[in-house]
Amino acid sequence: FRKELRETVEEIFSENRINESGLFNHRKVREIIDNHMVGKQDNGRIIWTIMNYLIWYNQYIANNNFINNHIPVRKPVASIALQ
Distance in angstroms (rounded) separating the CA atoms of residues 60 and 68: 9
Q: Are 28 and 43 in contact (CB under 8 A)?
A: no
In whole angstroms, how far apart are CA 78 and each of 67, 74, 82?
24, 11, 6
pTM of the shown model: 0.69
Can you give the pLDDT of all 83 residues of the chain as single tens digits? Answer: 666 778 888 888 899 888 888 889 999 999 999 999 999 999 999 999 999 999 988 888 877 666 655 555 555 555 444 44
Query: DSSP of 13-52, one letter per residue?
Result: T-HHHHHHHTSS-HHHHHHHHHHHHTTSS--HHHHHHHHH
